[in-house]
Structure 1
Amino acid sequence: MSDRLKTRIGNLELSGPLLNASGCGGTGRELAQFFELSRLGAFVTTSVMSQPRAGRPTPRAAEAPAGLLTAMGLPGPGIEGFLERDLPWLAEQDVPLIVSIAGNTAEEFAELARRLRAVPGVAAIEVNTACPNVEDRGRMFAWHPGAAASVVGAVRAAARPGVPVLAKLAPDVTDITTVALACADAGADGLTLINTVEGMAIDPTTLRPALTGVSGGLSGPAIRPIAVRCVYQVHAALPDMPIIGVGGVATGLDALEFVLAGASAVAVGTTLFHDPTAVPRILRELEEALSARRMRLADAVGLAHRPAGYVPPQVRPEPQAVQAPLDAAAADPGEAKERLP
């Protein structure tokens, strides 16, 4: 992968900025049928919980305009099944591994982090704060700065020192920067923005909610402007905090938009459901976009925050290439006129 695409998330160095979004890469084996996982900067697991879960009953997915509405219920094998079956295979792949974890209490999150502490091959932990908080009557941790911070702090204390802890935040809040600041104060080394946007659909045939969970999470291109706005706002408040931008990425220019807003890396989610080969294409398109602008990815991070008229050093034209003819004309206007066709 080109050096132009190298990036960092905390102390984790990535060969490229493109990741899969949690829940959109299966166990990794599914994506590996279509491209080498090493094309990813890192592989992000589906959120792992303490116990196996079958998830919500069907129907748990419905198409929406420019997106997908889902209420999966975090199905998975639980931490024991993950450590026994999925992690050994993933550890053999040539790609850093970010393990997403989810729980109902801060203590459950902390226990998951402790279980991963001694496991080799875990490059980072992503804390899915968009989980029910049973201590607060089922409301999500991500909806409250204090609740989100308590989960992040518990994971940071339990995780292996040096392993970055990333907080994944939900956009359904009054001010996402307040939640982000609370997570940063609690020890988050990076942020993933955003999780799905809560929504619902009603089936005109059954006259009932289209999902058994009534509401679900909206993903896909429909939420990209929301996600870009969240990344931009949080980067403005925390310019040194690494951000993984996620939400409706389908092209290299989509990814570049997140980078310009302030993301150091970008995750692809819903696109993989209808085009599992998308990662190499998006990566190529992003590199071409950066090359056309004569920039490295690191130079583009947060560039949209620069004052109007700011030009990165890599983009400035060679002064001599345009100055020489102008100087000649200025020295002898008549001579310059004679040379005109």
Structure 2
Amino acid sequence: MDKMLAVELPGLTLKNPLMPASGTFGFGDTKTAQKFSLNELGALVLKTTTPTARVGNPQPQIALVPAGVMNSVGLTNPGVAAVVNDKLVKLRHQYPDLPVIGSVGGASIADYVTVAKQLSASHQVQALELNISCPNVHEGGMAFGTDPVVAAELTHAVKQVATVPVYVKLSPNVTDIVAIARAVQAAGADGISMINTVFGLHIDVNTKQPVLGAGAGGYSGAAIKPIAVRMVDQVSRAVDIPIIAMGGVETVDDVIEMYLAGADAVQVGSAHFKDALIIPHLAAQLPARLRELGYDSIEDLRQQVKAGRANAN
């Protein structure tokens, strides 16, 4: 992979800045994940893991809609013991050198602590992503990401037990995302991931029923990119920890736009429905586009954005 794309983040040495958003590739075992070598990724973000197995929400859990995707999966997963003892063992056997980020969920702070402790103690992940922003779980999930005080308390509790860096995934479904970003930074977060899906509802006029079994759910896709870019820009000006940005990324220029907004790496989710190999394709296109725009590397782009903001201040 082109050295122009190398990225260093807390706990993570990435060959490129691109990774699938949590859930997109499961635990490296989905059909999409099996279409190419995962070593082409900058990192793999696992599906969110909870203390015990979850069946998730009623079917259908995913629906393609105009300009995006609706989902209400509900954190379906086999539980942390199965992830540590089975899923991650198989993943590590096939990809021993792939940077892996474990995604942590739960219905209480104690749940998050339990999962974070077991994932980090397994020595099979290089970082954790706290999913405090999922709009598809009736208990927990987004509830932890809408109150700065609660978000900080959760972050602090996880930092006490985690032996790897902790990234906190922020919700766009809030009034003031900057306040929450500042709170988790003050509580010890090593980085931020943002944004999760936008809470929405799509009704089929023929059936007169929601397209998702649970009714409302998370909306993702190209249409939410301006929301994501705006929030990344706001948060990046307010904190000094790295940001892994996501939300509507489909093209190489979308990746660069996220960097211009202040991102340090980028996740891709819904675009996989259009192109299963979207990340290898973006990684292949990125060096030439960076050169065309006058950048020596992705790090050069990042540093120029930081310098430009410092000069502006």
Query: Could you say whether these structures have the same fold, taking a TM-score greater than 0.5 normalized by the shorter chain as the test?
Result: yes
The number of aligned residues is: 304
**2:265 is equivalent to residue 265 of structure 1:** yes
* SS of equivalent to 2:168: strand
* SS of equivalent to 1:250: coil
**2:234 is equivalent to residue 220 of structure 1:** no
* SS of equivalent to 2:151: helix
Q: Which moved more, 1:297-306 or 1:174-183?
A: 297-306
Q: CA RMSD in A?
A: 1.9
Contact 1:96 1:121 in 2 (8 A): no
Name the % identity: 39
Contact 1:48 1:79 in 2 (8 A): yes
Q: 1:217 to 1:139 in 2, by over 3 A?
A: closer
**2:215 is equivalent to residue 204 of structure 1:** no
Map of 2:246 onto structure 1? 246
Tell me how far 1:306 sits from its aligned partner: 6.0
Distance 1:17 1:304 in 2: 16
Distance 1:297 1:117 in 2: 29
Q: Which amino acid aligns with 1:143?
A: T
Contact 1:189 1:242 in 2 (8 A): yes
Distance 1:50 1:303 in 2: 42
Map of 1:181 onto structure 2? 182
* SS of equivalent to 1:153: helix
Tell me how far 1:305 sits from its aligned partner: 6.6
**2:71 is equivalent to residue 70 of structure 1:** yes
Q: Which moved more, 1:83-92 or 1:19-28?
A: 83-92
Tell me how far 1:266 sits from its aligned partner: 0.5
Q: Which amino acid aligns with 1:48?
A: T
Contact 2:11 2:126 in 1 (8 A): no
Q: Which moved more, 1:18-27 or 1:271-280?
A: 271-280
Distance 1:266 1:23 in 2: 15
The Cα offsets for residues 298-332 of structure 1, whole Å up to 9 and x where unpaired, read as 12127557659x9xxxxxxxxxxxxxxxxxxxxxx
Map of 1:338 onto structure 2? none
Distance 2:124 2:142 in 1: 33
Q: Give the TM-score of the pair, scaled to structure 1.
A: 0.84
Distance 1:73 1:32 in 2: 21
Tell me how far 1:62 sits from its aligned partner: 2.4
After TM superposition, the structure 1 = structure 2 runs for residues 139-218 of structure 1, keeping only pairs within 5 Å, are 140-160=143-163, 163-218=164-219
Distance 2:144 2:296 in 1: 38
Q: Which amino acid aligns with 2:217?
A: G
Contact 1:90 1:97 in 2 (8 A): no
Q: Which amino acid aligns with 1:121?
A: Q
Q: Give the TM-score of the pair, scaled to structure 2.
A: 0.91
Contact 2:13 2:99 in 1 (8 A): no
Distance 1:89 1:139 in 2: 30
Gaps of 5+ in 2: none
Contact 2:132 2:142 in 1 (8 A): no
Distance 2:113 2:58 in 1: 28
Q: Which moved more, 1:44-53 or 1:287-296?
A: 287-296
Gaps of 5+ in 1: 311-341
Tell me how far 1:60 sits from its aligned partner: 2.2
Q: Which amino acid aligns with 1:270?
A: S
Contact 1:261 1:302 in 2 (8 A): no
Distance 2:61 2:52 in 1: 20
Map of 2:48 onto structure 1? 47
The Cα offsets for residues 90-145 of structure 1, whole Å up to 9 and x where unpaired, read as 2230311100010011111011111123212210000000245858xx86111111
> Which of the two has higher C-alpha Rg?
1
Contact 1:70 1:218 in 2 (8 A): yes
* SS of equivalent to 1:237: coil
Tell me how far 1:66 sits from its aligned partner: 1.0
